[in-house]
Structures are given as C-alpha cells and as structure tokens.
C-alpha cells in the first residue's frame, strides 16, 4: 500500500479534510450522490469524511494495489490463500447449478445430498434410536461452523417454511459445555439429532461437546452403532476423520479445503439453516449472495458496494486514524450479525505481516464490534457521541417490515414500532455526523456533541433470504478487497493456533496436582493453576463430606 502513487495525495487530503458539517455545507447534494447500490442493497456513504477527490484517489489506491487481478484470481478459484496454498472459493458455493463448471459440480452434488437429508428429517422419515421422529436438532460447531448458521437461522426465522418451523434447531459451541448442559437437561434423547460441524474434524471445542453428547445418548441406549447412525450427522472436509469417529458414510456431508471456515455457511455447514428454514430458503440465500458476487465482479469500483465498504474502511483506518468500527443493525433479527462480522473481519484481516511475511508499518483491521443499534443506544452510544475515541459505524436498516402480518391484531402497533426504529437509526447517524449542529446548540459542556463521527448506512428494501445473502457476501468481498490493499492474506488464521497448543500443554498439568508447581511456567500462570487446584480440591472435600 505504502508504495502506491495515490498515497501522498490521500495523506494530504486527510490532513486537510474538513468536518462533516462543512462538507455538507459546501456540497449540500452529497446525500443524493454519495451512494452505491447492487444486489438489492443501497450503500449511503455521504456521512463519511470523503469528497470526490478522495474517492478517486482511493479507487486509484485499489487499482495500484493490483485489486482487479486479485479479484479475478479469487473468483477463478486460484490459490489466493498463499500461506496454505489453496483457493478461497466461497463464490463457487453460490454459483447456480446450471452455471457451474465441471470443477464446481461437486457443490451441487453435496447440496442435493444435504437437501435429501433435510427432507428426511423434516418429513419425519429420519428416526431416532427408538424409532421416533426427530423434533430437535443441535448444531455442534464453533467459529465459522457456528456463527454463520446461527446468525442466518436467527435472522430469517420469519421466512421459515412450515416444515422447518416444526423443528427446533439449537446451537452449542462453547468448550466449557455450558450450552449443552442446559440443552441436554431438557431435550429428549430419542428425538434429538446432533450435527457435528468442523472443517478439520479435530476442533477440540466441537469434538469435546460431541463426546459429551455421545455419553449422554449412551446413558439412554446401549447400542452404539444405532446411536451413531440415528443421532449424528457430520459436516466436514475431512472424510477420514468423520469415519474414524464412527459416522457412517450416509451421515456425512462434505465440503472442501478451498472453503474457509468463516466463509463456509454457504456450504453443507449451512445444514442447520436448511433444517430450520427450509432448503428453498437456503437456495434463496445462495442466490442473493451470487447476485452480490456478480455485482462485485462487474460494477465499477466507485459504484461497487463491497469495494466502497473496503475503501472507506481503509480511508478511516489508514488516513483518518480511526481504529474502531461499530456494526449497528437496526433490526432485532440481525442480533448475531455483529458477532458474525467480528470473526469475518478480525480473523481475516487482523494481520501484521504482508503476503511476503514482512512486517507492516501501517494499520490493518480496526477493532470491530457491534450490537442491535437501538439496544446499543442504551449501552455504548455514549462513547460514540461524547467519548474520546474516533469510531466509524455501519448502520444497517430494512425499509419494509411486517408486511406478511397485516392480519394480526397488533399489526398497526408493530408498524409504528418499525417507523420509530427507522427514526432512531436516522437520528443517530445524523447526530454522530453533525453533533449538536443537528439541533439548537446548548452551551452546557456536558451537553455538547462534537459530531464528525463518520458512518455508512446500508439500506435493504426488506430483510429476506436474498438480501441477507447479498449483505453477507458484500462484507466478505469488503474483507478481501481491504486485504488486497493492505497486502495481507485474509484467508489464514495462524494467530489462533498457538493458544490451542499451549492449552493442550496446560491441560495435563491441571489434572495432576504437583505437576503445575513442577512445570516450567511463568509465575502468573503457575500461581493461578495452583489456586484453581486448591479450590477444586477443597470443593471435592466438601462434596465428600456432604
């Protein structure tokens, strides 16, 4: 990035960039001009601190970073993930069946296998060990095998087909087993099906949950073959490991090494989505994402929604020095969207060496977090409005809502709530941008709003399978585009490996009293381990007495 010709002019522009209030004063029409749209999504970036010159220079920055060639390589399925020498071909997962190339036909094959399985479970053909129909499904997965399916399933529940609605789909991800502990307490082992979702099928979080489930089931049925056959479906890129775990071939769904975990909800990892919402809803989700892929591939840079999201992000981080990014969906259905994006953006672009392995001397991914906007107003908006941090925000909003519920008694009231929600969304981006200039100013110091916090607003006509598919794909491509400009690999995650190894080293030390004090550990970890062992030992003593 540093070597791009566009850099000096961008730096110069950043230094002299006037506040948003002034930008609107000098260019009142920017609200109608600074927008892009594609695949049903409108991006309003007029409240970003940019002008036409900055936009041109940012587009040049992308071009000079080799963006267009990299995009072509991504979409062609070339090995863009250099450290792992493989493709990141999530776009292939959404190519409509009739347009798939020979290399992509495996996608449709697995999709159809998944649909057949979904049909069996939803129709009551799939049976538990005692021959009863399945009423509950629990997805065991973590990271990309959890966040995407959870987010989409929650987001589109209103669009569920009746067959899906009849099925209760749950998610358990945490390594400590808390979610399972709660679920197993109330689920019926005869009628519960478990999905083990793990690309490598070695993820300890997921497999430790699966082992707990296996022992729960075994306490109700002593025929292990029957349990494995009737209560588990595996989704993985590692067939051999699924087989070794004991899953029969018919209970295995596959995806491929070239699908990154956090880009995998479009693959058979989406099984819980299809079960909860219906296979056709899942297809619509794919279609929406594909429409965004096409927009990303063909739209000019400054009219390209994902590219614009990326360029504005780079501008804020690298030129305006804004290191925090809030995701603020004004829609309760998108509750899990911020946590989904936290993984997508920060696991992808939280890097500090370039593709050649050299350290970077500029910033990459900002700290990104979020919450349902209207709830966040009662939580962290204080900091956005009057804190000392500069924060950029994405507002996400659907124009139409509650259209299918015109028959219910409180429909009018719901519509009124929707309008109130929209008013709040627009009000917040307005106050963030203009501060108290948005209203008559008050001189009391603690009532001052400085404003000038930039934001974008992503407007959907309505939140439905297609538009959500397009929205997610837009952020995926944003992440990729930024990675190209920053010169980093967004598709690996070496930063999460070391902790896993160290945990494996520590695990035996905790189980063996004496080992912790003997091991070569830093004093902090050793002291903590000893305290924990003491507390556990005294707990056992107490338990023994009781």
Partner 1 sequence: MKVRVLGSNLEAWTLAGALAFTGCRVSLEAAQLPEEGSDVSEPDLLQLLEQQRDAGRLQLDDSEEAGDLLLVACRHASLESLQMAVQGFVENVSANVGAQPLIALVQSMAIGTTDQLQQWLDEQGAGHIRVIFWPAFIQSGRALESVTRPERILLGCEDERAVQLMRRLLTPFNRSRDTLLVMSPKEAELSKLAINGMLATRVSYMNELAQLAADKGIDIERVRQGMGTDSRIGFQYLYPGCGFGGEAFLETLSQLSRELAHPNEAGLLSSVFAINEQQKDLLFQKFWRYFKADIRGRKVAIWGCAFKPNTSGIEGSPALTLIRALLAHEVEVHVYDPMALSSLRRQLGGLDKLVFAPSAEAAVAQADALMLVTEWKEFWNRDMDDIRLRMRTPLLLDGRNIHDPGHMAELGWVYSGIGRGVSI
Residues serving a catalytic function are 347, 378, 500
Q: Is residue 294 within 8 Å of residue 99, measured between CB atoms?
A: no
CB of 310 to partner 1, least distance (A): 47
CB of 85 to partner 1, least distance (A): 42
Q: Which stretch binds partner 1 (CB under 8 A): 131-139, 289-297, 328-336, 493-501?
A: 131-139
Query: What is the distance between the alpha carbons of residues 456 and 303, in angstroms, rounded to a whole number?
Result: 14
Asked if 129 is part of the footprint of partner 1 (rule: CB under 8 A), the reply reads yes
Residues 133-172 as x/- pattern, contact with partner 1 by CB under 8 A: x---------------------------------------
Asked if 408 is part of the footprint of partner 1 (rule: CB under 8 A), the reply reads no
CB of 171 to partner 1, least distance (A): 25
Asked if 302 is part of the footprint of partner 1 (rule: CB under 8 A), the reply reads no
| Closer by beta carbon to partner 1, 82 or else 132 | 132
Asked if 123 is part of the footprint of partner 1 (rule: CB under 8 A), the reply reads yes
3-state secondary structure of 439: coil
Query: What is the distance between the alpha carbons of residues 260 and 90, in angstroms, rounded to a whole number?
Result: 7
CB of 222 to partner 1, least distance (A): 11
Which residues, numbered 307-336, are part of the site for partner 1 (CB under 8 A)?
none
State the residue for tokens 């296979």: 279
Asked if 130 is part of the footprint of partner 1 (rule: CB under 8 A), the reply reads yes
Query: What is the distance between the alpha carbons of residues 212 and 184, in angstroms, rounded to a whole number?
Result: 10
Q: Which stretch binds partner 1 (CB under 8 A): 118-126, 296-304, 328-336, 513-521?
A: 118-126
Query: What is the distance between the alpha carbons of residues 448 and 439, in angstroms, rounded to a whole number?
Result: 11
Interface size with partner 1, residues (CB under 8 A): 15
| Closer by beta carbon to partner 1, 176 or else 250 | 250
- CA 116 vs CA 110, 125, 430: distances in Å: 10, 11, 49
- The single-letter DSSP state of residue 17 is P
Please give the span between the terminal C-alpha atoms of the chain, in angstroms, as a whole number. Answer: 66
By CB under 8 A, name the one of 2, 26, 98, 131 that touches partner 1: 131
Q: Facing residues of 171 across strands?
A: 139
| Closer by beta carbon to partner 1, 128 or else 338 | 128
Which residue blocks in 124-200 are alpha helix, DSSP H? 147-155, 162-165, 178-186
CB of 133 to partner 1, least distance (A): 8
Torsion of CA 40, 45, 47, 51, to 10 degrees: -150
Asked if 132 is part of the footprint of partner 1 (rule: CB under 8 A), the reply reads yes
Query: What is the distance between the alpha carbons of residues 291 and 466, in angstroms, rounded to a whole number?
Result: 9
Asked if 224 is part of the footprint of partner 1 (rule: CB under 8 A), the reply reads no
Q: Which residues contact 134 (CB under 8 A, 6 or more apart)?
A: 121, 124, 126, 127, 128, 167, 191, 192, 193
Q: Which stretch binds partner 1 (CB under 8 A): 121-129, 268-276, 363-371, 385-393?
A: 121-129
By CB under 8 A, name the one of 127, 411, 418, 448 that touches partner 1: 127
Report which secondary-structure segment, H or E, holds 43. strand 41-44
Q: Facing residues of 326 across strands?
A: 369, 393
By CB under 8 A, name the one of 223, 321, 497, 539 that touches partner 1: 223
Determine phi and psi for 269, rounding to 5 degrees. Answer: -60, -25
Q: Is residue 136 within 8 Å of residue 168, measured between CB atoms?
A: yes
Query: What is the distance between the alpha carbons of residues 342 and 347, in angstroms, rounded to a whole number?
Result: 8
Query: What is the distance between the alpha carbons of residues 57 and 65, in angstroms, rounded to a whole number?
Result: 12
Q: Which stretch binds partner 1 (CB under 8 A): 85-93, 120-128, 151-159, 414-422?
A: 120-128
Report which secondary-structure segment, H or E, holds 526. helix 523-545
Q: Which stretch binds partner 1 (CB under 8 A): 170-178, 225-233, 369-377, 397-405?
A: 225-233
| Closer by beta carbon to partner 1, 408 or else 502 | 408
| Closer by beta carbon to partner 1, 214 or else 385 | 214
By CB under 8 A, name the one of 69, 103, 116, 125 that touches partner 1: 125
Of 165, 426, 463, 139, the C-alpha closest to 332 is 463
Q: Is residue 492 within 8 Å of residue 307, measured between CB atoms?
A: no
Of 18, 520, 37, 28, the C-alpha closest to 300 is 37
| Closer by beta carbon to partner 1, 225 or else 298 | 225
Q: Which stretch binds partner 1 (CB under 8 A): 119-127, 139-147, 321-329, 429-437?
A: 119-127
| Closer by beta carbon to partner 1, 53 or else 223 | 223
Asked if 441 is part of the footprint of partner 1 (rule: CB under 8 A), the reply reads no
CB of 131 to partner 1, least distance (A): 3
Q: Is residue 513 within 8 Å of residue 533, measured between CB atoms?
A: yes
3-state secondary structure of 42: strand
Q: Which stretch binds partner 1 (CB under 8 A): 106-114, 177-185, 224-232, 519-527?
A: 224-232
Asked if 113 is part of the footprint of partner 1 (rule: CB under 8 A), the reply reads no
Q: Is residue 525 within 8 Å of residue 391, measured between CB atoms?
A: no
Residues 229-248 as x/- pattern, contact with partner 1 by CB under 8 A: xx------------------
Q: To 5 degrees, how large is the angle CA 460–CA 340–CA 263?
A: 95
By CB under 8 A, name the one of 76, 184, 204, 226 that touches partner 1: 226
CB of 184 to partner 1, least distance (A): 22
> Which residues contribute to the site for partner 1 (CB under 8 A)?
120, 123-125, 127, 129-133, 223, 225-226, 229-230
């Amino acid at each position: 990035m540093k070597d791009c010709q566009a850099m000096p002019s961008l730096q110069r522009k950043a230094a002299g960039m006037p506040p948003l209030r002034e930008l609107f004063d000098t260019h009142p029409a920017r609200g109608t001009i600074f927008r892009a749209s594609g695949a049903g999504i409108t991006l309003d970036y007029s409240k970003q601190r940019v002008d036409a010159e900055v936009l041109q220079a940012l587009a040049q920055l992308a071009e000079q970073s080799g963006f267009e060639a990299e995009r072509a390589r991504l979409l062609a399925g070339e090995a863009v993930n250099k450290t792992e020498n493989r493709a990141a071909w999530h776009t292939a997962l959404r190519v409509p069946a009739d347009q798939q190339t020979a290399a992509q036909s495996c996608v449709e094959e697995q999709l159809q296998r998944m649909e057949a399985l979904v049909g069996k479970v939803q129709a009551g053909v799939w049976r538990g060990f005692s021959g009863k129909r399945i009423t509950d499904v629990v997805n065991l997965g973590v990271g990309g095998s959890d966040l995407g399916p959870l987010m989409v399933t929650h987001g589109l529940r209103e669009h569920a087909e009746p067959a899906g609605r009849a099925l209760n789909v749950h998610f358990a991800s945490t390594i400590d087993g808390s979610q399972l502990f709660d679920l197993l307490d109330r689920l019926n082992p005869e009628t519960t099906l478990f999905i083990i979702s793990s690309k490598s099928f070695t993820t300890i979080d997921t497999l430790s949950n699966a082992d707990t489930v296996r022992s729960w089931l075994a306490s109700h049925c002593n025929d292990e073959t029957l349990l494995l056959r009737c209560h588990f479906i595996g989704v993985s890129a590692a067939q051999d490991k699924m087989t070794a775990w004991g899953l029969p071939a018919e209970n295995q769904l596959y995806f491929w090494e070239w699908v990154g975990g956090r880009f995998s909800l479009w693959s058979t990892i989406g099984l819980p989505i299809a079960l909860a919402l219906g296979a056709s809803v899942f297809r619509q989700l794919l279609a929406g994402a594909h429409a965004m892929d096409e927009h990303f591939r063909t739209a000019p840079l400054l009219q390209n929604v994902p590219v614009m999201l990326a360029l504005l992000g780079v501008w804020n981080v690298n030129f305006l020095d804004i290191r925090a990014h809030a995701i603020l969906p004004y829609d309760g259905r998108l509750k899990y969207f911020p946590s989904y994006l936290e993984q997508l953006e920060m696991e992808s672009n939280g890097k500090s060496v370039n593709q050649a392995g050299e350290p970077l001397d500029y910033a990459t991914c900002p700290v990104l977090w979020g919450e349902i906007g209207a709830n966040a107003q009662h939580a962290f908006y204080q900091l956005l409005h009057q804190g000392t941090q500069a924060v950029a925000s994405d507002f996400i909003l659907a124009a139409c809502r509650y259209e299918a519920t015109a028959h219910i008694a409180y429909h009018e009231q719901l519509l009124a709530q929707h309008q109130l929600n929209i008013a709040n969304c627009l009000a917040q981006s307005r106050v963030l941008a203009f501060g108290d200039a948005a209203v008559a100013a008050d001189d009391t110091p603690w009532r001052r709003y400085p404003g000038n916090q930039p934001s974008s607003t992503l407007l959907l006509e309505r939140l439905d399978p297609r538009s959500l598919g397009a929205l997610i794909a837009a952020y995926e491509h944003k992440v990729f585009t930024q990675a190209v400009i920053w010169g980093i690999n967004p598709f690996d995650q070496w930063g999460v490996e070391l902790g896993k190894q160290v945990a494996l080293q520590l695990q035996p030390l905790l189980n063996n009293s004496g080992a912790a004090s003997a091991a070569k550990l830093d004093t902090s970890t050793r002291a903590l381990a000893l305290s924990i062992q003491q507390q556990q030992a005294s707990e056992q003593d107490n338990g023994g007495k009781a």
